[in-house]
Chains A and B, each alone.
Chain A
Amino acid sequence: MDVMQQEKEQIPASAKPDVWQARQRGQWRPWLWVAPAIILVAVFLVYPMLSTIWYSFFDATSVNFVGFDNYTFIFGNRGMLEILRNNLLWLVLATLATVALGLIVATLVDRVPFESAAKATVFIPMAISFVAAGIIWRFVYYYVPPGRDQIGILNASIAFFGGQVQSWITQSSTSNFMLIIAYTWMWTGFCMVILSAALKSIPADIMEAARTDGANGLTIFFRITIPMITPTIVVVATTMVINILKIFDIIYVMTGGNYGTNVVAVAFYQQLFNFNQFGRGSALTVILLLAVLPIMYFNVRRFRAEEAQR
């Protein structure tokens, strides 16, 4: 707008028609440039989103309007409440674990001789697909009744040291945590790489100044490093949160949602594809959408604030 107003002031009266045309052109031209993006977003994002919200108010066949029945079903059903509880558990534990571990690894290996090797090792699981990772971890947790050869590495180690072997992913007391560990193994590398890049961007003179003032390692970490990279930590954490809210593959592969490990994305898949409950499936995705929205909003605002600072 500012630019246009400036233009207006500079226009000599005689040249008016030409400039008017130019201004007309100037007004629709930006729309032309963004049109492909808008059309793509509208067709592949906005329309499906609106129709999903629409269908969440209809019954299983998407024909009869049922109001909020699908939502009352979700919030009034013990199985569904367990699903929401599991999502919350994932959200808190998996986010904390990946970001904290990522930060610890990034800090510990920062500027040590074997830094690249260590980072590569932690990052490698990222290159494995979720399904493959799920299968790998199923083998890690594999359980054979006591007294026979344990082929899962976890139970084999426990048996070697004389402990009590457990069926880790089929007992509801441990199953959720075991799946979160598998997820953490995959995604710590991602957090570490980004946080490590942020660490490198801390100016060396600040560190030197701190050391000169006699700060020890821990003080530097909590008083300088963390405050300096807080924006990055927030970005990484929100990425993880969105990622975790959508978690599907690991659970589908490792437990199929059984043994008290079901989450919204798996339940939605079951409702839609196994039970033909289009209304309930849509309602579950809408809940997921509502859960992600505030985080997206927060992320966008954060991004804007940072842009403004530049």
Chain B
Amino acid sequence: MTIFRQRQRIALDRLVEEYSTRGLSRRIFLQRASALGLSAGSAGALLAACGGGSSLNEDPNQNNGPTEATSLTMLTTWGGEELESFEAAIKSFRDQGTTVDIESNRDANAVLTSRIRANNPPDIAILPNPGKMQEFAQQNRLIRLDNFLDMSAVERDYAQSWIDLGKYNDGFYAIFYKAANKGTVWYNPKLFDTDKLELPTTWDDLIALSDKIAGDDKYPWAMGVESEASSGWPATDWIAQLYLSEFGGEKYDQWIQHQIPWTDDSIKAAFEKFGKIVSGDHYINGAPQSILATNFGNATSQPFVDPPQAYMTYIGDFAPSFITGANEAAKPITDYNFFGFPTITEQYAGAVTGGADVIVAFKDTTAVRDFIAYLITPEAQTIWVERGGFTSPSKAVSLDAYPNEVARTSAQMLVDASVFRYGAGDMMPAQVQSAFWSGMLTFIENPDQLDSILENIESVAQQAYTA
């Protein structure tokens, strides 16, 4: 902070006194403090010090209307094929004269953290999970989208659960764009046909089926959790789906809000069910070390290459891009297909976990407003849907637009889900998510250490949730 001249100091003291005695509004306080030469950040800090709320920053939504702009910057983790499809989807928007600079970075979280810290955020960011969005909204970094979006159209096109996920307090800050259905078990239909196997509908069926395949000296499962710095996440998807299928949405919400401890029996039960797959006799070739060493993408394609190395694998509905990447000849329905995650508790049949990339805005400009309004139009989304690899959470996008039967069924499943919940790890504070990921790695290697693994995640959670 700068050292102020004497007169400014006195004026500031008076302002603080007025604020505490006469109850000025926060906005006027901030305006007057800035007029006295304080930066927005220092004024916010002073306000916070006077008990004017926990916020460090001036609320970006207090400005009057958007600033004019004909270009915008965007940060995303999409790369390769995803980025190409996105560029195709926004082509007609660009043609109208607005420049869109896309920065693609796998480590977008780290980039975003430091840029926000330096007060230089991108105009728009695509976050891979809503946990970060909540954090930024709490810090007053995000622009409220309900200030300019037609909310009645949003409410018509999006299920209430998606809208609720984009809310913080009363404000609507994030819109869900590219969704993933994580209630899907992918299998090789040809192998199932030749061995005359039936698709399982319950967890017990699934275990019986796995045992049957293993009994024929084949490997029923392919699994890989290696994913560089975020290794372990595919296993946390397992736990989330198992938990939701067994204990339902209410208990699931308690879990992600840390209202039940990690050492709870229910969480233990989910881990133990997952452990059955991991250490099942002759379930996975080379387990447990191969699970840790195999990249999740490679594992996804294992049942679908020639010769197939396994019968099935559990992963979200983004699997086809890995399958066709490893085996270009693989065709939907005949060469690869999926069945819904088996029911564990009858009451919660059809419960689906998933994920979605969320769009948030850090600056209120005309270009940003137009861009977001454009992105959520069914026309813009249909472009990517038709290209494949995109499931839209918007009901306005016609199911006919999906490129094949498998993608259509998956999108249908997401829309019809009796209970839908966001993948558990993505809803937790970053530290807990990371502890969850690495806890899964330890569990896969040493399932008998379950108690100490859960205690460890619990200790991280206790600190993260109280902070």
Q: Which residue of B lies closest to A255 (CB)?
A: B231
Residues of B within 8 A of A157 (CB): none
Stretch with Cβ within 8 A of B (4 or more), from A58-66, A179-187, A225-233: A58-66
Cβ of B335 under 8 Å from chain A: no
Q: Is B292 an interface residue (CB 8 A)?
A: yes
Residue of A nearest to B429 (CB): A275
Contact A258 B135 (CB under 8 A): no
How far does the alpha carbon of A170 sit from the alpha carbon of B442 in the complex, in Å?
10
Nearest CB of B to A77, in Å = 8
The smallest beta-carbon distance between A303 and chain B, in angstroms, is: 36
CB-based contact A171/B445 at 8 Å: yes
Task: State A258–B291 Cα separation when bound (angstroms).
Answer: 14
- Complex contact A167–B434 (CB within 8 A): no
Chain A stretch 214-269: residues in CB contact (< 8 A) with chain B: 252-253, 255-259, 269
Known A-B contacts A274-B109, A275-B430, A275-B431; the reply to A143 vs B228 at CB < 8 A is: no
Tell me the minimal C-beta distance from B132 to chain A in angstroms: 9
- Distance in Å from the Cβ of B55 to the closest Cβ of chain A? 11
Is B430 in contact with A167, judged by CB distance below 8 angstroms? no
A61 to B136, CA, bound (A): 12
For residue A61, which residue of chain B has the nearest CB? B56
| A154 interface residue (CB < 8 Å to B) | no
Closest CB in chain A relative to B121 CB, distance in Å: 14
Main secondary structure of the interface of A (DSSP, over half): loop
Question: Which of B188-196, B244-252, B282-290 forms part of the interface with chain A?
Answer: B282-290
User: What chain B residues lie within 8 Å of A142 (beta carbons)?
Assistant: 293
Which residues of chain B are within 8 angstroms of A143 by Cβ–Cβ distance? 286, 289-290, 293
Shortest Cβ distance from B310 into chain A, in angstroms? 11
Contact of B135 among A79, A270, A276 (CB under 8 A): A276
Task: State in angstroms the CA–CA spacing of A273 and B441 once bound together.
Answer: 22
B110-157 at interface with A (beta carbon < 8 Å): 110, 113-114, 135
Contact (Cβ within 8 A) A256 B456: no
**Nearest CB in chain B to that of A167: its residue:** B289
Partner of A273 from B114, B290, B435, B459 at Cβ < 8 Å: B114
User: B232, B434, B456: which contacts A274 (Cβ < 8 A)?
Assistant: B434
| Interface-central residue, A142, A252, A259, by most chain B CB under 10 Å | A259
9-residue interface stretch from A21-29, A121-129, A144-152: A144-152
The listed residue with most A CB atoms (<10 A of its CB), out of B309, B438, B459, is B438
Residues of A within 8 A of B110 (CB): 269, 273-274
B434 touches A170 (CB 8 A): no
Closest to A145 in B: B286
B31–chain A nearest beta-carbon distance, Å: 22
With contacts A258-B441, A273-B109, A273-B113 known, is A146 near B286, CB below 8 A?
yes
| A274-B438 in contact (CB<8A) | no
Min CB distance B24 to A, Å, is 22
Q: Is B45 an interface residue (CB 8 A)?
A: yes
Asked if B48 is an interface residue, CB under 8 A from chain A, the answer is: yes
- B230 near A: Cβ within 8 Å? yes
Q: How far is the CA of A256 from the CA of B430 in the complex (A)?
A: 15
Complex interface: chain B residues within 8 A of A274 (CB) = 109-110, 113, 430-431, 434
Task: Given A78-B456, A270-B434, verify A256-B290 contact (CB < 8 Å).
Answer: no
Does A95 have its Cβ within 8 Å of any Cβ on chain B? Answer: no
Residue B467 interfacial (CB < 8 Å)? yes
Contact A172 B445 (CB under 8 A): yes
Nearest B residue (CB) for A60: B467
CA distance A79 to B231 in the complex (A): 17
B318 CB to nearest A CB, Å: 21
Do A170 and B438 form a contact, CB below 8 Å, given A147-B285, A276-B113? Answer: no
Q: How far is the CA of A93 from the CA of B363 in the complex (A)?
A: 50
Q: Is B229 close to A, CB under 8 A?
A: yes
With a cutoff of 8 Å between Cβ atoms, the chain A residues found around residue B226 in the complex are 170
Q: List 21 A-B contacts (CB under 8 A).
A: A63-B48, A79-B456, A145-B285, A148-B309, A167-B293, A170-B289, A170-B441, A171-B292, A171-B445, A252-B229, A256-B229, A257-B229, A258-B232, A259-B441, A259-B445, A270-B434, A274-B110, A274-B113, A274-B430, A274-B434, A275-B434
20 further contact pairs, Cβ within 8 A, besides A275-B430, A277-B431: A63-B56, A73-B463, A79-B456, A144-B290, A145-B290, A166-B289, A167-B290, A167-B292, A169-B293, A170-B226, A170-B441, A170-B445, A171-B289, A171-B292, A172-B445, A255-B231, A256-B230, A257-B438, A273-B114, A274-B109
| 5 nearest A-B pairs in the assembled complex, by CB-CB distance | A145-B286, A167-B289, A273-B110, A170-B292, A256-B229
